[in-house]
Structure 1
């Protein structure tokens, strides 16, 4: 699980840089200002959680199921949240908005909130 978390974190980080550059340069001509902001939000959240995944990959021993749940919450949440935003923005720019992706974004956000909540719980449990 350690290696998986680190690899996914590095992959998400690399893709965030690529998507960020793509959004800043190639998509400026085809995206509205609103879609550019949404796309940028997806990139930011992806990078934040990529960094977090690398950090927990180096700091967790994954000796407890709690640590595994935290990592999976961030992996799944980042994928659902950011990639659904990318899909929504790209499809809308082509005039064929994939409405099915709309409900996926908040589900991804919920996974991210759960991951942060579990991480907070793990810190509190250490103290108590």
Structure 2
């Protein structure tokens, strides 16, 4: 993705993550049962991991594939947890692991690309 800016994506993802974390802590604390609130908080936590990784990868010119995978993973993983917590749509639990796989793939690709950029084989 030629016009994809990992730093911009990371900053937006982090800002939204902070807002959603505050929303969960204040507005949802009394409305969701503890297990559902924990799922929402897991979504926020992993969104922030991806945001921080995107901010870091944005400083690395050789990182083009990993940021896209990380953003997609955050949207799918965290997004399904948010919708699941807010709507109770249990079928989304089957989609959430796809986001987790995308996040893992993003971190693995980032490592491989960093290794290649260092001239290691």
Corresponding position of 1:48: 49
Offset of residue 117 of structure 1: 1.2
Distance in 2 (CA, whole Å) between partners of 1:99 and 1:78 is: 19
Equivalents in 1 of 2:6, 2:44: separation in Å?
19
Unaligned runs of 5+ in 1: 93-97
Q: Give yes or no for contact 1:70–1:119 (8 Å, CA) kept in 2.
A: yes
CA distance in 2, matches of 1:101, 1:11: 24
Q: Which residue of 2 aligns with 1:71?
A: 67
Cα distance in structure 1, aligned partners of 2:30 and 2:3: 41
Deviation of residue 99 (structure 1)? 3.5
State the TM-score, normalized to the length of structure 1.
0.84
1:121 has 2:112 as partner: yes
Q: TM-score, normalised by structure 2?
A: 0.89
Shift in Å, 1:100: 3.9
- Does the residue aligned with 1:26 lie in a helix, a strand or coil? helix
Report if the CA contact (8 A) 1:2-1:57 is conserved: no
CA distance in 1, matches of 2:3, 2:54: 10
Q: How far did 1:3 drift?
A: 6.0
1:105 aligned residue:
96
SS of the residue 1:90 aligns to: helix
Q: Any gaps of 5 or more consecutive residues in structure 2?
A: none
Does residue 87 (structure 1) correspond to residue 83 (structure 2)? The answer is yes
- Where in structure 2 are the equivalents of 1:11-30 lying within 5 Å? 11-30=12-31
Residue 88 of structure 1 and its aligned partner are, at CA, apart by 0.2
Secondary structure at the aligned position of 1:29 is classed as coil
